[in-house]
Amino acid sequence: MKTIEWGGALVAILLAFTILPVNSATAAPPYPGPGVVTGSTTAHDPSVVKTPTGGYLLAATGNNISLKTSTDRTAWRNAGVAFPGGASWTLSYTGGSATLWAPDISYRNGRYYMYYSASTFGSRNSAIFLATSPTGASGTWTHQGTIISTTSSSTYNAIDPNLIVDGSGAWWLSFGSFWTGIKLISLNSTTGLRSGTTLHSIAQRTGGSTAIEAPFIVKRGAYYYLWVSFDTCCQGASSTYRIMVGRSTSITGPYADRNGTVMTSGGGTQVLAGHDSIHGPGHQAVIADVDGDILFYHYYDNAGTARLGINKIAYDASAWPFVY
């Protein structure tokens, strides 16, 4: 499909129903371009929360976590960084760098929660931390502690966190990148910190690549949908990231794709991949908004700059998501 702005939603839905969702082993269908965004449109690993006043707060990878705001989901402006004084507790994982990765932001219990990670590229010397804020504004974030960490001898990697509250109100954190894939741990809903020691494995690549990361779980109807990114990020216009999904009736899995392949055996149904001047779309986040589910992600333009991508999500007759 050609790029269609929000006003062309009905046309996009009708066109999308003519496209069969595909599994990772099949040829990709044509995809819509991102919806129109203006203002400060650079972003990497975006996560977005709807604020109590109806606006939007975005957190992204950057020095001390980049923040942006919007009143309408289209025009975005820079809003500083979460930790203007730095985050000294992360430096042993970042090699002294101020760059913090893949924040996951949400609003619960009357305050903002942000899980984020610290590491260096290709390393398993990594950790996930929690910060909270009463307003979400720059400089108001308080370090609450370490959730989980890994070392070079670990078989998985403690980056790319995502908080999910299940149907019974229990808190969980999914995370993971490469190696043995995506994991899930239980959290204490009062503190937001880890509860217990159980580690669930919920997705893993098989075969010649271990490239799976950036989990994001949402519950819609009877299903928990596990969104992940396959393949290579962070190579500018050469990036091969693509967005995949599977689903389960249980938060702990098993998650399977449209063809029934479980995600712990490499399963995943492709929802969005590179096309035209959109390169390597991935590190997705999903929110429910007044006009339906919204997919946020980053992609690279032809110049290799990471841009904010936004599309609407709809579900076909079999309850599988597609973007328009």
> Binding site residues, as ranges?
45, 122, 157-160, 177-179
Tell me if the bond preceding 103 is cis, omega within 30° of 0: no
* In the block, residue with structure tokens 């992600």: 297
Distances (CA, A) of 220 to 71, 286, 314, 315: 25, 11, 11, 10
Going by the DSSP 8-state scheme, the letter that residue 91 receives in this structure is H
231 is an active site residue: no
Annotated catalytic residue within 213, 231, 257, 293: 213
Can you say which residues are annotated as belonging to the binding site for substrate?
45, 122, 157-160, 177-179
289 Cβ neighbours under 8 A, 6+ residues apart: 50, 73
| Cβ-contact 208, 192 below 8 angstroms | no
**Residue 305: count of CB within 10 angstroms of its CB:** 14
What is the Cα–Cα distance from 60 to 120, expressed in whole angstroms?
A: 16
Catalytic residue among 45, 104, 257, 293: 45
Task: Determine what percent of the chain falls in helix, strand and coil, rounding each to the nearest 5.
Answer: 5, 45, 45
Report which residue type is found at 36. Answer: V
SS3 236: helix
Q: Is 242 helix (H, G, I), strand (E, B) or coil?
A: strand
Instruction: Let me know the angle formed at the C-alpha of 170 by 119 and 190, rounded to the nearest 5 degrees.
Output: 75
291 among known catalytic residues: no
Provide CB contacts within 8 A for 252, sequence distance 6+.
184, 200, 202
Annotated catalytic residues are 45, 213
